[in-house]
């Protein structure tokens, strides 16, 4: 199977994201959903590519590694044009948020464009692309985790829902858990619709406290799918070792 090329002109929804509002919701809630970024045909393209062996560098059976139930596949270079476009065009506004967070937490900042991040990853020995597609069937789920693939970790990532909840599958909510210092953890659930994206932290985010901002750890996973199949496109911006 050959994936059809997708140019930047075919993703106009990326230009309509209200980044100020999204940043405010990330600060307040720990995650934020967008309006649909991909149309139904583009979602179907990403589902269909899951069965194209040549498109991927690695396949993970979650049950074998006690990660959950289901499979996910990491794209090989070169990435499909649609995936590359989403990754490179979402990165600059997310880098602005990431660099603001870095300033609040006294951490290193990130390049303004994705090519710069890829170069920094290469210098750190991280060369493998990390965007992936995940497929869950009935009883499928994903344990709480963090997508850290090396010393250089860009602090935000994106998932794009490729199916229609309650039509193609039931259950399968995106779950986020915020581990608050000296308090019980806070669970949160997101249920994006077809083509919608969720932006969330890879491992931690800043939170205002009585003595200034501090780090709160976050993990994410997927609750059990009851019926049907659930597919998600995951966009991780840093590369892996």
Q: Which of 10, 8, 22 is nearest to 156 (CA)?
A: 22
What Å distances lie between residue 239 and 48, 55, 91, 101, CA to CA?
A: 24, 17, 13, 20
User: What pLDDT, in 10s, does the model give residues 98-127?
Assistant: 999 999 999 999 999 999 999 999 999 999
Estimate the crossing angle of helix 19-29 against helix 81-105, to 10 degrees: 60
Q: What is the mean pLDDT of residues 3-29?
A: 81
128 DSSP 8-state letter = B
- pTM, rounded to two decimals: 0.94
Q: What does the pLDDT read at residue 4?
A: 39
162 DSSP 8-state letter = -
User: What pLDDT, in 10s, does the model give residues 200-227?
Assistant: 999 999 998 878 899 999 999 999 999 9
Q: Which of 120, 131, 116 is nearest to 77 (CA)?
A: 131
Q: What is the DSSP string of 26-56?
A: HHHHS-EEPSP-S-HHHHHHHHHHTT-GGGE
- Is 50 exceeded by the pLDDT of residue 55? yes
Q: What is the CA radius of gyration of the chain?
A: 17
pLDDT-derived band at 1 (thresholds 50, 70, 90) equals very low
Asked if residues 113 and 91 have their Cβ atoms less than 8 Å apart, the reply is yes
pLDDT-derived band at 193 (thresholds 50, 70, 90) equals very high
Asked if residues 39 and 6 have their Cβ atoms less than 8 Å apart, the reply is no
Burial of 167 (0-12, 13-18, 19+ CB in 10 A): exposed
pLDDT-derived band at 2 (thresholds 50, 70, 90) equals very low
3-class state of residue 210 by DSSP: coil
Residue 180, C-beta contacts closer than 8 angstroms, at least 6 positions apart? 186, 207, 216
All domains of the chain in start order, with CATH: 12-236 (2.60.120.620)
For the record, the structure tokens of 145 come out as 């985790």
């Amino acid at each position: 199977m050959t994936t059809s090329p997708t140019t930047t002109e075919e993703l106009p929804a990326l230009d309509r994201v209200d980044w100020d509002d999204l940043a405010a919701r990330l600060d307040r809630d720990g995650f934020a959903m967008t309006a649909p970024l991909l149309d139904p045909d583009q979602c179907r393209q990403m589902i269909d590519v899951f069965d194209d062996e040549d498109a991927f560098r690695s396949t993970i059976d979650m049950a074998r590694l006690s990660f959950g139930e289901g499979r996910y596949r990491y794209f090989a270079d070169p990435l499909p044009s649609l995936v590359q476009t989403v990754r490179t065009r979402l990165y600059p506004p997310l880098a602005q948020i990431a660099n603001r967070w870095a300033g609040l937490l006294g951490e290193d900042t990130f390049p303004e464009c994705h090519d710069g991040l890829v170069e920094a990853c290469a210098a750190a020995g991280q060369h493998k692309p990390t965007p992936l597609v995940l497929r869950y069937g009935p009883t499928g789920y994903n344990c709480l985790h963090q997508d850290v693939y090396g010393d250089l970790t860009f602090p935000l990532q994106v998932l794009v829902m490729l199916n229609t909840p309650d039509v193609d599958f039931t259950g399968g909510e995106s779950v986020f858990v915020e581990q608050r210092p000296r308090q019980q953890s806070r669970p949160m659930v997101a249920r994006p619709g077809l083509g919608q994206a969720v932006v969330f932290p890879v491992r931690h985010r800043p939170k205002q406290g009585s003595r200034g901002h501090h780090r709160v750890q976050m993990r994410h996973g997927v609750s059990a799918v009851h019926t049907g199949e659930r597919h998600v496109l995951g966009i991780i911006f840093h590369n892996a070792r």
